[in-house]
Structure 1
Amino acid sequence: MADPARRHLLILGGTTEARALAAALADASSSAGARVTSSLAGRVAEPRLPAGEVRIGGFGGPEGLADWLRAERVDAVVDATHPFAAVMSRNAAEAARATGVPLLALRRPGWAPVAGDRWHPVPSLAAAAELLPSLGRRILLTTGRQGIGAFAHLDGLHFVARSVDPPEPPVPASLDVLLDRGPFTLDAERAVLREHRIEVVVTKDSGGAATAPKLTAARELGLPVVIVERPPLPAGVPVARTVEAALAWWSAQGPDPR
């Protein structure tokens, strides 16, 4: 049962930043006695659990999330989901508007190209699939298991897909799966590209250091990289680029007015 005497922060998580925010607030001196709940979508079989209280599973759309915010007396929400979790971000924005609960998006900056990069920005996985035949025949897919189906129709290409859990059909006819979880080292990424004779890398613009070494390895080998651009955040939602900025925003929400 919710304690009306404690401020309550909901972190929509699953990312490195979400876990870091929950860990910082788990310290009583930082949280000032607040209740912090982290919510995970449950799409990974064995997720890395954050510190503190955790719930796993969906809310049932924006209406279900709004009901949960009211029932649990949530004072603020930090949307620290993956930059490509567009549906959850929309649901959070709608629920926040419906309940009047303050909402912040915690998003690490995207990657930026440097000299020597051969990047091909595209707006979607479908656009990436359309471009691939013109770039090479052996493809490293690092778009997550749920995105692999976008490439299932491509014949004549060989895919090496890396994901935390095995992908489900549809998948490309010629496919090797590497089950692995970041962070990845530069030496390891060099080895993957060479051992699998990769000609093209496909990735989402997730940002962050944990999976960035593949970009350096691709640059060293002169490989093209297809970068799927991030979907836009819902209009009007303030954005923090660091955990420290999110902590400052939470502190600025002030004491529980109830």
Structure 2
Amino acid sequence: MRRVLILGGTSEGRALAAVLDGTPGVDVISSLAGRVANPRLPEGEVRIGGFGGADGLAEWLRDNGIDAVVDATHPFASRITANAAAATRHAGVPMLVLRRPEWAPAEGDRWHAVPDLEAAAGAVSALGSRVLLTIGRQGVDAFAAESAWFLIRAIDPPTVAVPRRSEVLLARGPFTVDDEVATMREHRIEVLVTKNSGGALTAAKLDAARTLGLPVVMVSRPDIPAGVAMTSDPDRARTWAARGD
């Protein structure tokens, strides 16, 4: 029996778990960080909560006889990916990162690429005074000192400092383009701030911004650790997880 740990929390992780859960000779465990109050659970065995850093994960991998790790976490979960890379290296377990492709600008887009949230906060004031912030609840404090008005959309309420002039909109996608256009018009949004998460489930906001001619502050993805294999092909990840090739 080949035991596979999926570091999940994404649609890609759930899809991979569903396939592997029905694969003969494969025992799959999905691990969720527990940062969302009511996460969408994948098929098969699920573990929720942290491991205690890289050392804790390395020990858990050895104790549970894990043969392979697939990191299918959010593209911006850089700390989890770094810990997983260190842990698998120490435990002698192979690791593959599964990442959905990045978004790319289309004709008519007004993107302003920035390297991180701090740079995004610094770019906002020159682009508009009413901002739709769609970065999740973590990292909102990077915008706390800004004078613009923010509509902060997240699944769960932020637990960090928020901008003084802001409103929190709790909502879980996917949203249609019409939904996004209506939200932007209702709140008189002038600029969209988002992370380059990629994928079709949350791309409607980009289409809406293009339709309305709004600028988009796009936060670039962090790099994955050196020496770690990565794929954006779900079939490749399934084959690798099930057979190791």
Distance in 1, matches of 2:63 and 2:160, equals 38
* Match of residue 207 from structure 1: 198
Equivalent of 1:174 in 141, 165, 182: 165
* Match of residue 245 from structure 1: 236
Match for 2:233: what amino acid? T
Q: Report the CA distance between 1:127 and its aligned residue.
A: 0.2
SS at match of 1:32: coil
* Match of residue 190 from structure 1: 181
Structure 1 residues 101-152: Cα deviation after superposition (integer angstroms, max 9, x where no partner): 0100000000000110000000000000011110000000000101211101
Structure 1 residues 188-212: Cα deviation after superposition (integer angstroms, max 9, x where no partner): 0111111010000000000000110
Kindly report which structure 2 residues correspond to 1:71-150, keeping only aligned pairs within 5 A, or say none: 71-150=63-142
Q: Report the CA distance between 1:251 and its aligned residue.
A: 3.2
SS at match of 1:110: coil
Distance in 2, matches of 1:242 and 1:145, equals 28
1:38 counterpart = 2:30 = yes
Moved more, 96-105 or 239-248: 239-248
* Match of residue 56 from structure 1: 48
Q: Report the CA distance between 1:82 and its aligned residue.
A: 0.4
Cα RMSD (Å) of the superposition? Answer: 0.9
Q: Report the CA distance between 1:225 and its aligned residue.
A: 0.1
Distance in 2, matches of 1:13 and 1:73, equals 19
Equivalent of 1:8 in 3, 9, 19: 3
Match for 1:238: what amino acid? A
SS at match of 2:5: strand
Equivalent of 1:225 in 187, 207, 216: 216
Q: Report the CA distance between 1:169 and its aligned residue.
A: 3.3
Would you say the 8 A contact 2:67–2:94 is kept in 1?
A: yes
Distance in 2, matches of 1:33 and 1:109, equals 30
1:160 counterpart = 2:151 = yes
What TM-score, normalized by structure 1, do the two folds share?
0.93
SS at match of 2:55: helix
Aligned residue pairs total 245
